[in-house]
Structure 1
Amino acid sequence: MTISSTSTLKGFLLINILLVSVICTGQENFTAFVQPAVALNYNVTNTYSHNFSVQNRNYLYDNESVQLTVRQIDIVHFSNLRIKDNQSLAFGILYRFRENFDDGTNELRLTQQYNLQYKTNVIRYGHRLRTEQRITSIKTTHRYRYRFSLDLPLQGEKLDVGEPYFVGNFENLLSVAKEQRPQYDVRFTLNLGWKITEKTKFQIGSEYRFEDYSQNLEQVLLLLSSLNISL
């Protein structure tokens, strides 16, 4: 399969423009964000690695009005251990700075993760299980997450420098806390990326979330971009 980078980009941007146009419909319980990120990957050994990232989430549409204000900044670290060729365990810690930007509270998040990947022809599939503890001054929330993902090069059978690739995700979440009814969320993510150099990738994409859909549905759109650097 060979798809030109130009036509791929045009088609992907069209999809995202259609998503952003939802903002203009004035629907209730809808929020949109812009979220850029930078990530640094470092291999300690052949089986053990670190990942450091910083991401910034900004309001784009909230309370039925267009705006561009900072909501939060996240600093994240993950330690990854490969236990088999296609399986790994990871432990993460995140600190979210939010009190300085809006009425939210700062958050410490601990993450435990199991990841399984396998490949069929040019498509790579992934299953990810996560448990999280979101700790704030108000409460501790436990989250249980399952994500299915796939990625593939858009030119040829393997990804070479300068070529685009596609990543798609589907994720279910369950959040539980004391004196709070369980919350169910679902997320859909589409990303288009380019391998800029052997150690650098750039991605743009969008994620649509249906939050607390069993009780008080809220819809959230995130416009994503990320620069990933490997050392």
Structure 2
Amino acid sequence: MIFNYKTEDGTRDTAETKYLPRIGELFMHHDNYHRVKKVLRTLDVSNVCIAVICSLFGFYMGAQHGAITDLDIIEVIGVIISISTLIIASQALNSWRNQFKHNVEYESFVKAESNFKKYWDSECDLRAVCIKKRSVEGFDFEVPMLEAFERNAMQYKFLLSWNELEVYHPKFTKDFDDLNPDILSRDFRTYVMKISEVDFRPYNDDFCNWSNEVHKRAINAFLSYRKEIVN
């Protein structure tokens, strides 16, 4: 979203947001680093240790006694241990995959919930400042550039989080598609534009009713779905 604003020399310009993709990528890399770090900390290394020990023991039994025909039972034991090692290693790998997948899904959801709250607050702050400026400057007020930049940055972060939700939690994005940042942005923009109308009156605006309803639905949606993920 690009807002018009007035520069110091009186000319009009627009609020650029080219820096936002780089900021978004920085947050993504930062989150991925801590995500992988946390998964590695929770990795169950006991299965891996057992697999290594069994593999070495099986190799020893086969290598040291394979040529002794009178001890064929030892060769059989070596084969059994080697097969057991493969099974244990496979289970350890599957366990690691499940842990990693669960951590990625959970952290992506928590990040989306946090970014939603920040984005929502930035939209409400922008509208509040616009109403204040209208009361001082009139209906042809200039949109506050600082709040506009903050709002754009928060929307971009929430949009990145929503894209991750569509990958890891498609059911949530489908059931609560009205929380899509593009849809919320369009609705908020409608209410902000009303402030510049000549006959605008805050007490006649239904923003508070709409805001309370959508915000309550969003908070309950994130809370209930997060409980499902944990359980």
The higher relative CO (CA closer than 8 Å, separation ≥ 6) is in: 2
Identify the structure with the greater strand proportion. 1
Identify the structure with the greater helix proportion. 2
Give the TM-score of the pair, scaled to structure 2.
0.20
